[in-house]
Amino acid sequence: MTIKAVVFDAYGTLYDVQSVAAVTDEAFPGYGELISQIWRMKQLEYTWLRSLMGRYEDFSVVTRDSLNFTLKTLGLTFDAAVFERIMDKYVHLDPYPDAKQALTGLKGRKLAILSNGSTDMLNALVRNTGLHAILDATISIDSTRIFKPSPRTYELIETHLGVAPQEVLFVSSNPFDACGAKSFGLNVAWIERVTPQAMAAELAGASLVRPLAMFKAMRMQMDEYGLEPDYRIGALADLPGLVTAHP
C-alpha cells in the first residue's frame, strides 16, 4: 500500500466535540454534560434520518435543530443570545492536543478533511484553529446532499484530490464513518480513544451511569457490520509512524 493522501474526519477526530460542554454548562449550570451528549447523539441521528428520507438540510441546520430539540426536551428556557452563544462553539471547537503536530508530521502527502460539516462551518472552524495553513483541502459533503456514510460522500476525495481510493488513508474516530469508508474501499485508520477495557473500568461499581459514559458506549465503540478498519490507533499522534511505514 502506497499512501498519497491522508484524509480526516473533523468532528470527534481532529476536533473534540466534547469541548462544547464548557459553554453548555456555563449557560445551564449542572446540565452541561447532559446537553452535550444528547445534542451530539441527535445531531448524528438527524444526519442519518435526513439521508434516508431524502430531506437534506446542511449540517448547520442539523446542528441547530438538534440543539433546539435537546434544550426543549430537557425543559430548559433560553433566549436567542444564549442559543447563538452555544452554537458559536461549533466554529471554535478545541482541536485535540496532538492534532497539529500529527498533521505536521505527515508533510509530503496530501492532507484534507472530509466532513459532514457545512462549507461555511468547516471553513470557519479550520481558520479559527489555524489548521488551514497545514491542510491542502477542506471538503464538505454539501455538494452530494447526503451525509456520511453514504458512498457518494467518499467519492469526493478522488474528485478533489485526484488520488485513487487505494492510495488514501482515511482517519476517523467515529465508528460509523470508519465502517463507511472501509465499505467504500478506502484504507482506514480508526482512532480507538475508548477501549472496551476502559469502558468496563469506568462503569465498574458505578451506581449511576454518566451521560458521557453512555455516549462512549453508544458512539465510540466499533460497530458490528462485518467491517474492520485496517488499523486501530489510540491517538492522532500515532499516525506519522503508521504512514511512514507505508511510503
- The domains of the chain are located at 5-16+93-245, 20-91
- With a CB cutoff of 8 Å and minimum separation 6, the contacts of 184 are 151, 154, 155, 165
Cα Dmax for the chain: 55
Q: Contact at 8 Å (CB) between 157 and 139?
A: yes
Residue 213 backbone phi and psi in degrees, to 5: -65, -40
SS3 string, 75-92, reads CCCCCHHHHHHHHHHHHC
Segment holding 138, helix H or strand E: strand 137-140
DSSP 85-134: HHHHGGGSPEEPTTHHHHHHTTTTSEEEEEESS-HHHHHHHHHHTTGGGT
- pLDDT number for residue 1: 64
Q: What is the pLDDT along the chain (247 residues), one digit of tens a residue?
A: 689 999 999 999 999 999 999 999 999 999 999 999 999 999 999 999 999 999 999 999 999 999 999 999 999 999 999 999 999 999 999 999 999 999 999 989 999 999 999 999 999 999 999 999 999 999 999 999 999 999 999 999 999 999 999 999 999 999 999 999 999 999 999 999 999 999 999 889 778 889 999 999 999 999 999 999 999 999 999 999 999 887 6
For the chain, the distance separating the N- and C-terminal CA atoms, rounded to the nearest angstrom, is 8
- For 128-153, give one letter per residue: b (16+ CB within 10 A) or e: ebebeeebeebbbbbebebbbbbeeb
- pLDDT number for residue 134: 96
Alpha-carbon distance 92 to 108, whole Å?
Answer: 28
User: What pTM was estimated for this model as a whole?
Assistant: 0.95
- pLDDT number for residue 209: 86
Q: Catalytic: which of 9, 16, 58, 177?
A: 9
- pLDDT number for residue 20: 97
Helix 59-73 / helix 119-128 crossing angle, nearest 10 deg:
90
**Class (C level, CATH) for 5-16+93-245:** alpha beta
Judge whether 9 counts as a catalytic residue: yes
Alpha-carbon distance 191 to 93, whole Å?
Answer: 19
- pLDDT number for residue 246: 73
Residue 137 backbone phi and psi in degrees, to 5: -160, 145
CATH superfamily of 20-91: Putative phosphatase; domain 2 (1.10.150.240)
Grid coordinates given for 100: 497539529
